Amino acid sequence: MGAQALAPRKHKTSDPEDDLGLCFEALPGRLAAVCGLAGGAGTTTLAVALAQAAARSSSAAVLLTETGSQPGGLATVCGTASPLSLAELAQAAAAGQRPERPFAQLQAGPRLVAAPPRQSPDVDEHQLAGVLGDAKLAHGLVVVDCATVSGTQHPVFAQADLIVWTLPATPAAVARAQVLFASPLVPRAGRVAELMVAGALLEKPKTPVKALRRLAEHRCDQLVLIPRDHQVAHGHSERWPAAYAEALQAITRVLA
């Protein structure tokens, strides 16, 4: 699968009240990697909200994908799945194959490459980075749901223009993030633009804001704090744009 297999498609511009400034028109586009530093951070929710908001406002096509289909989280959240996972697309590209349907089209939204839950094939990192590079050639924005840091995201980080780190605002998540930032599982600080989005699990988070700021200050351009939203917590997806508005605006400023 090359760039031609993911040819650009025009999208309608959103109504002004829905426009968060996430307008992507130029090709090749940008890639935003949304990656959790701990579980329960809302990583997939933020990735979907970002892709949907960008697709509503952009004239260039927007692609939403994930690094692995074994959990099946992204397909479950979106309510549909593509025939092949990202790894399977990379495998097909390496074999010189061009799938007839490389993606699913979400209604009035982004293209989706996310397969149902199944074992993901082993793919060479260069092949995966190559298919992501092809995707950038054909899309104004590529959003990758990286789930939680596991050491398999290096091909995504290599193609990323922005990494959005997510974590719940808990002491355990901050402690885990500190360990990860000191490990080779994440890119060297300063190689690419980075944001941190911390979501509150409780009305009054137990983690002081200053602890989150200390965590973010050495490598992130901005820390965004997301207050607890009961409707989002109970699965009301219509609340995502409002709940994540500050984070989406911060992403816009970095990628603009």
CATH classification at residue 98: 3.40.50.300
In a domain, 100, yes or no: yes
The one-digit pLDDT tens for each residue of the chain (256 residues) are 444 445 445 444 444 435 567 788 889 999 999 999 998 888 999 999 999 999 988 999 999 999 875 666 899 989 999 999 999 999 998 888 888 889 999 987 999 999 988 887 788 889 999 999 999 999 999 999 999 998 889 999 999 999 999 999 899 999 999 999 999 999 999 999 999 999 876 555 566 788 999 999 989 999 998 876 655 555 556 666 677 888 999 998 888 7
- For 222, the enclosing helix (H) or strand (E) is strand 222-226
What's the number of domains the chain is made of? Answer: 1
20 found inside a domain:
no
The residue segments making up the domain with residue 226 are 3-11+27-255
Helices assigned H by DSSP within the chain = 43-57, 73-78, 86-94, 125-138, 154-159, 171-181, 209-217, 230-233, 240-243, 245-255
Classify residue 152: in a domain, yes or no.
yes
Tell me the pTM.
0.88
Tell me whether residue 16 is in a domain: no
18 within some domain: no
- Residue at 83 is within a domain: yes
128, part of any domain:
yes
Q: What share of the chain is helix, strand, coil (3-state, %, to 5)?
A: 40, 15, 45
Q: CA-to-CA distance for 159 and 21, rounded, in angstroms?
A: 23
Q: Is residue 88 part of a domain?
A: yes
Question: CA gyration radius for the chain?
Answer: 17
